[in-house]
């Protein structure tokens, strides 16, 4: 059994065959999907997808790319969504100083607000952090205790250590299969099994051999195979541990 802890099945890339994509993954042994909101609209779509699919759960949040529009009205709307059935987390939220599509000030404000909401509703956080490790850690440390997973981990060993010190989970995507991603494989090696989760971030980040194509939750299986080799454990052990971690973190049965 495997879980895709971070995918975007509501995106237009899946409009023509969403049900087939989900069924294909289920047939391959993926039992749950956490569909991650990136805007208010996609958070609503995530909730709807979770309502119509027994295997799909939702996370609701506003991505740092969209932090510029995240005013107090949007914050209220997000809070309302977060109370819906099958909502298991707040996010993705965080800081992205690589693309800076929203101002850094607004990103920090939106992140802080969503951390506050997660704590208020006792939900874990799904964190997106790119080239803003120091700033993100400052904000998170000031808000501790916080339950979080750092999605699509891309930081260095120092950041990994700080995240583990805070008790955060670390999630890796299919980009660990890329030839130039030795740094990510090194970080995965250093991540304890009991803090590890797997995700596709589909439709993004197709594995090596499929690059340029749409990614699908089905590829969690390939990711788990690669990750088990890197960790030096059996596929079964890696699948069991990461599934157990995801179930506990997102409160799945
Ligand atoms: Zn994502």
Task: Supply the mean pLDDT for the chain.
Answer: 97
Residue 234 is predicted with a pLDDT of 98
Q: What percent of the chain has pLDDT over 70?
A: 100
- Ligand 1 geometric centre to CA of 31 (Å): 19
Whether the pLDDT of residue 253 is over 90: the answer is: no
pTM beyond 0.95, yes or no? yes
Are the beta carbons of 62 and 78 closer than 8 angstroms? yes
pLDDT in tens, 13-44: 999 999 999 999 999 999 999 999 999 999 99
Residue 187 is predicted with a pLDDT of 98
In DSSP terms, which residues pair with 94 in a beta bridge? 128
Residue 140 is predicted with a pLDDT of 98
DSSP secondary structure string, 87-154? Answer: EEEEEEEEEETTT--S-HHHHHHHHHHHHHHHHHHT--EEEEEES-HHHHHHHHHHH-S--EEE-S--
- Ligand 1 geometric centre to CA of 237 (Å): 26
- Ligand 1 geometric centre to CA of 8 (Å): 7
DSSP secondary structure string, 15-59? Answer: TTTHHHHHHHHHHTTEEEEEEEPSSHHHHHHHHHHHHH-TTEEEE
**Coil, strand, or helix at residue 234?**
coil
Are the beta carbons of 88 and 130 closer than 8 angstroms? no
Domains of the chain as residue ranges with CATH: 2-250 (3.20.20.140)
Q: What percent of the chain has pLDDT over 90?
A: 100
Rounded to an integer, the average pLDDT of 189-200 is 98
- Ligand 1 geometric centre to CA of 201 (Å): 5
d(CA 23, CA 14): 13
pLDDT in tens, 143-161: 999 999 999 999 999 999 9
Ion ligand 1: residue ranges with CB closer than 5 A: 201
pLDDT in tens, 92-105: 999 999 999 999 99
Is residue 241 very low, low, confident or very high in pLDDT (cuts 50, 70, 90)? very high
């Amino acid at each position: 059994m495997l879980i895709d802890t971070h995918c975007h099945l509501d995106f237009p890339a899946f409009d023509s065959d969403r049900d087939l994509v989900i069924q294909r993954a289920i047939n391959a042994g993926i039992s749950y999907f956490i569909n991650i909101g990136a805007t208010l609209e996609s958070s609503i779509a995530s909730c709807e997808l979770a309502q119509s699919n027994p295997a799909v759960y939702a996370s609701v949040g506003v991505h740092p790319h969209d932090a510029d529009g995240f005013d107090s009205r949007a914050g209220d709307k997000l809070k309302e969504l977060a109370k819906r059935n099958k909502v298991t987390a707040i996010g993705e939220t965080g800081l992205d100083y690589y693309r800076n599509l929203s101002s850094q000030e607004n990103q920090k404000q939106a992140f802080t607000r969503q951390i506050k909401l997660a704590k208020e509703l006792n939900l874990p956080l799904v964190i997106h952090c790119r080239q803003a490790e120091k700033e993100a850690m400052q904000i998170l440390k000031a808000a501790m205790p916080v339950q979080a997973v750092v999605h699509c981990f891309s930081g260095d060993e120092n950041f990994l250590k700080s995240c583990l010190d805070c008790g955060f989970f670390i999630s890796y995507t299919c980009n660990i299969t890329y030839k130039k991603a030795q740094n990510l494989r090194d970080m995965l090696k250093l991540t304890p099994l009991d803090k590890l989760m797997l995700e596709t971030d589909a439709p993004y980040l197709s594995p090596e051999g499929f690059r340029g194509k749409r990614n699908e939750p089905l590829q969690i299986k390939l990711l788990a195979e690669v990750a088990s080799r890197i960790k030096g454990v059996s596929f079964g052990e890696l699948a069991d541990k990461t599934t157990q971690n995801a179930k506990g973190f997102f409160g799945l049965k």
